[in-house]
Amino acid sequence: MTDPQEYSRRASAWLEANARDLPRDAGLAASRAFMARLHDAGYSGITWPAEYGGQGLTAAEERAFQQAARGFALPIGVFGIGLGMCGPTLLSIGTEEHKRRYIEPLLRGEEIWCQMFSEPGAGSDVASLQTRAVRDGDAWVVNGQKVWTSVARQADLGLLIARTDVDLPKHRGITMFIIDMHDPGVTVRPLRDMTGESHFNEVFFDDVRVPADRIVGEVNEGWSAAVTTLLHERVSIGTGAARTERPASFAALAAAARGRGLLADPAVRDLLVDLYLRERAFDLFNARLSQEIKAGIQPGARGSVAKLLLSDLTLAGADAATEILGPETVAYDDDGTIAAALSWAPGMALGGGTSEIMRNIIGDRVLGLPREPQVDRAIPFRDLKVGTQAEEAGR
Ligand SMILES: Cc1cc2nc3c(=O)[nH]c(=O)nc-3n(C[C@H](O)[C@H](O)[C@H](O)COP(=O)(O)OP(=O)(O)OC[C@H]3O[C@@H](n4cnc5c(N)ncnc54)[C@H](O)[C@@H]3O)c2cc1C
């Protein structure tokens, strides 16, 4: 490890020279150019293996960079799914060829990734998915629909899970594929959400041919591949948010309450103390996860604790903001941050798995409580009444 203080000083100087006053929404071309500069400077993929384009450094350098980056709004959100989920999945279970082909372009911002798991009839119970992939010579032919796919409109590539064997039980006949989003037969339709923007999309597959060498993991073993991605997702959502400024934070709302002469109001103090305690619990839990990752201990299902704490904290921040700012919360403030954060808050408790599902996972896999009964675990998928199969069965 290099001297952390020296590393952090150099990172701060680089950020000051290259990232100060960048617009939060810089546009796609500017975001890609920024990622390339970040990579050239040695700050993209800090802990990723050097042979695939990473910097091959340790979690200590990563943390030093993240500390230096606090207070900067880096325009790299569109790469979040690639960096937080798809890339780590390929590094864990991709082939050597996948790593050589896909990792460096991701780290340089040349290719944007999305993750295509959820379907209209398969969200929390994503193993009920119905998108099909059928073998045809040296390729697989994909048909079906995904929904809520973040950044699909901007994406060049995506990880897809599709059903490859309907005779196996629902968790076992699934395979993970790398999809080229520009291939014929892939159609992306944006969905407008309540922030007024289109963060997520529907994706349709009509006879999309996917070469067999784009399978990630093994045929029919896509469920464990998907679990790998989801574990990375929850850690990445939790720890990623730990590094970003929260507009409806304790500090911001306490200042707003003081400015409005509300600090003596016991109800307001109660809200603020509750928010402070949640922030401390979240920050300390994440500090602990980071230390453990640094020591080589993988968080596993405890990533769900970080995700749940963050969802609850975000919703508590939104409630407190509404109480303290009153009608002002519905008007966009100067840079729109409070109002945008409020309308984004409920999505935090859904995306990456809902809070109820996080509680199930924590009960089951962190606390060792009895599992939820699952009567359909051993039944061939074709016999299950899920999604459109349920409608067909009811006819
Ligand atoms: C901001 C955002 C971004 C997203 N991005 C992506 C993406 O990039 N890729 C992707 O594939 N998906 C994405 N999603 C989809 C997300 O993963 C799903 O919304 C989520 O898994 C829930 O599925 P659902 O919406 O079908 O709800 P459902 O599964 O239908 O759930 C409805 C309600 O029932 C509850 N429920 C369901 N099952 C149980 C149970 N067993 N026990 C207790 N309660 C239960 C849920 O908690 C929820 O309150 C995104 C969603 C959001 C909000």
Q: What is 34-75 written as a DSSP string?
A: HHHHHHHTT-SSTTS-GGGTS----HHHHHHHHHHHTT---S
**Residue 146 CA, closest ligand 1 atom number:** 11
Ligand 1 center from residue 148 Cα (angstroms): 9
Q: What span, in angstroms and rounded, lies between the C-alpha atoms of 100 and 22?
A: 31
Q: What span, in angstroms and rounded, lies between the C-alpha atoms of 354 and 217?
A: 26
Q: What span, in angstroms and rounded, lies between the C-alpha atoms of 161 and 173?
A: 10
Is 8 in the same domain as 58?
A: yes
Instruction: Return the structure tokens found at 197.
Output: 């923007």
In a domain, 333, yes or no: yes
| CA 367 vs CA 359, 364, 372: distances in Å | 10, 6, 13
| CA 148 vs CA 132, 203, 229, 353, 376: distances in Å | 18, 9, 16, 12, 25
Mutate which of 160, 354, 356, 374 for ligand 1 pocket (most atoms within 8 A of beta carbon): 354
Is 117 in the same domain as 46?
A: no
**Residue 150 CA, closest ligand 1 atom number:** 8
pLDDT score recorded for residue 132: 98
CATH code: domain of residue 14: 1.10.540.10
- Helix (H) / strand (E) element for 32: namely helix 28-40
Nearest alpha carbon to residue 88 among 210, 189, 234: 234
For atom 51 of ligand 1, the residue with the nearest CA is 351
pLDDT score recorded for residue 73: 80
Give the count of domains, the chain: 3
Is 203 in the same domain as 295?
A: no
In a domain, 213, yes or no: yes
**Residue 354 CA, closest ligand 1 atom number:** 47
In a domain, 163, yes or no: yes
DSSP one-letter string for 316-329: HHHHHHHHHHGGGG
Instruction: Return the structure tokens found at 103.
Output: 């990792």
**Residue 116 CA, closest ligand 1 atom number:** 11
In a domain, 26, yes or no: yes
Is 311 in the same domain as 343?
A: yes
Which residue bears the tokens 């840079």?
Answer: 335
Among residues 65, 90, 107, the one where a domain terminates is: 107
**Residue 360 CA, closest ligand 1 atom number:** 42
CB 301 within 8 A of CB 362: yes
CATH code: domain of residue 153: 2.40.110.10
Block means of pLDDT (10 residues each) for the chain, length 395 residues?
82 92 79 96 95 92 85 88 95 97 98 97 95 97 97 97 97 97 98 86 98 97 93 74 70 92 95 95 87 81 91 92 86 68 87 93 94 89 86 65
Ligand 1 center from residue 101 Cα (angstroms): 32
Which residue bears the tokens 């675990």?
Answer: 377
Ligand 1 center from residue 115 Cα (angstroms): 14
Ligand 1 center from residue 296 Cα (angstroms): 31
Q: What span, in angstroms and rounded, lies between the C-alpha atoms of 304 and 12?
A: 31
Ligand 1 center from residue 128 Cα (angstroms): 13
* CB 124 less than 6 A from any atom of ligand 1: yes
Distance, C-alpha 307 to centroid of its chain: 10
Nearest alpha carbon to residue 208 among 317, 108, 132, 282: 132
* CB 226 less than 6 A from any atom of ligand 1: no
Is 154 in the same domain as 183?
A: yes
Mutate which of 112, 124, 191, 364 for ligand 1 pocket (most atoms within 8 A of beta carbon): 124
Is 124 in the same domain as 88?
A: no
72 φ, ψ to 5°?
-105, 135
Ligand 1 center from residue 357 Cα (angstroms): 9
* CB 201 less than 6 A from any atom of ligand 1: no
The DSSP call for residue 354 is -
Among residues 58, 80, 107, the one where a domain terminates is: 107
Is 162 in the same domain as 186?
A: yes
Is 21 in the same domain as 86?
A: yes
Domain carrying residue 28: 4-107
Is 335 in the same domain as 281?
A: yes
Mutate which of 112, 115, 118, 176 for ligand 1 pocket (most atoms within 8 A of beta carbon): 118
In a domain, 90, yes or no: yes
Examine the residue annotation and report whether 233 is marked as an active-site residue of this protein: yes
Is 290 in the same domain as 321?
A: yes
Mutate which of 115, 129, 148, 227 for ligand 1 pocket (most atoms within 8 A of beta carbon): 148
Is 54 in the same domain as 99?
A: yes
Q: Write out the E strands in the chain.
A: 113-116, 132-136, 139-150, 157-163, 174-180, 186-191, 200-211, 215-216
Q: Which of 61, 62, 119, 233 is catalytic?
A: 233
Is 199 in the same domain as 254?
A: no
